[in-house]
A and B are shown apart, each in its own frame.
Chain A
Amino acid sequence: MSEPANSGPTVRRLWTRNLVIWAALMALLLVSLVGAYIPMGRITTASGIVIAIAKSMLVVLLFMELAFAKPLIRLAAIAGLVFLSAMFALTLSDILARP
């Protein structure tokens, strides 16, 4: 069953939209790769993590379409991060403050 005639523009719009996001992700990957070789001390480590956060925001908001989802779905997505950050913060309050 060949694709119906009028689906051509939808397919093209679908690919262009997602290819742009994909290109951005690839670019960020390269930046993080190159960034790792520049000796900036702590900033080098931080750059890797920050770029990873940027890439995952792209995937979550655009590929997973969280940006257009209902508030309930966004709440579910954020709930995990809230308790995760609390876990990190309180555990590090022990690890970093040890005598």
Chain B
Amino acid sequence: MSDETALLREPWLDFARQREAGKFGIWVFLASETLFFGALMLTYMVCRIEHPEAFVAAGRETNIWYGTINTAVLLTSSLTMAVAAQGAESYARLRRLVIACLTLTALLGLAFIVIKGFEYKEDMDKHLVPGAGFELPERAAQLFYGFYWLVTSVHAIHLSIGIALVGRLVWVLLRRELPVTENPEIEVTALYWHLVDIVWIFLYPLIYLPGRSS
């Protein structure tokens, strides 16, 4: 099994055990990321409980179309990443499919960042940056936008790391440095990518949906 020996790393003697350890390790890391973004969600919830009407007014100012399209883009990137991961998993040698899906995932990630850039520009034009020239009268609305700018940029950084990881994978797989079948790095990158998507799934209703109905 030449693939396995190429992927075997220190200090493991048995490849299946190494894969299982890699998967377990990334899931433990995702648990820490859950608490990382969970603490931010708690900040949002506490501020919203203390200033409900200001948060609703601030939520109304966000551009829901950018938010919805971005959520769709990220969900689609999760689809292509899942197909790539499951393709690498299966014993049918689907090397070209996996590489194609990984590239698609990276491109969708980039699309998300570009759309985010446009949204940021529009927010700046509408003076939604907390500080002196803030647009909305309610002062607690500045808390909402303090949270908005912070959490979307932290999420964008995590997404960029994801894009870099996927890009590296595509580069390494194209140059045949690593085999595709049962490659633990694909599985680990996929799990990380899905987490970044889940974080955005939760951010969407918090940032874009408040204040639409009233």
Interface assignment of A67: CB less than 8 Å from any CB of chain B: no
B42 touches A91 (CB 8 A): yes
Residues of A within 8 A of B191 (CB): 64
Cα–Cα distance between A19 and B208 once the two chains are bound (Å): 26
Residues of A within 8 A of B33 (CB): 80
Cα–Cα distance between A65 and B26 once the two chains are bound (Å): 14
Chain A residue at minimal CB-CB distance from B26: A76
CB-CB contacts below 8 Å: B57-84 with A: 64, 68, 71-72, 75-76, 78-79, 81-83
Residues of A within 8 A of B116 (CB): none
Which secondary structure characterizes the binding site on chain A? helix
Residues of A within 8 A of B35 (CB): 80, 83-84, 87
A72-B24, A73-B23 known; A26 and B72 CB under 8 Å?
A: yes
Chain B residue at minimal CB-CB distance from A7: B92
Instruction: Please report the total number of B residues contacting A with Cβ < 8 Å.
Output: 54
Among the listed stretches B5-13, B138-146, B196-204, which one makes contact with chain A, having 4 or more residues with CB under 8 Å of it?
B196-204
Instruction: Please report the total number of A residues contacting B with Cβ < 8 Å.
Output: 54
Among A4, A55, A69, A84, contact of B93 (Cβ-Cβ < 8 Å): A4
Ranked nearest first, the 4 interchain pairs of A and B with the lowest CB-CB distance are A48-B205, A80-B31, A80-B34, A7-B92
Among A7, A18, A36, A77, contact of B209 (Cβ-Cβ < 8 Å): A36
A52-B201, A70-B20, A79-B31 known; A88 and B45 CB under 8 Å?
A: yes
Interface assignment of B46: CB less than 8 Å from any CB of chain A: yes
Residues of A within 8 A of B148 (CB): none
A36-B212, A48-B209, A88-B45 known; A10 and B194 CB under 8 Å?
A: no
A18 touches B202 (CB 8 A): no
A45 touches B42 (CB 8 A): no
15 new A-B contacts at CB < 8 Å, known A11-B94, A18-B86, A76-B30: A3-B92, A4-B93, A10-B90, A15-B83, A33-B64, A36-B64, A36-B209, A48-B206, A59-B197, A65-B86, A77-B31, A79-B31, A80-B32, A84-B38, A96-B49
B75 touches A39 (CB 8 A): no
A59 touches B201 (CB 8 A): yes
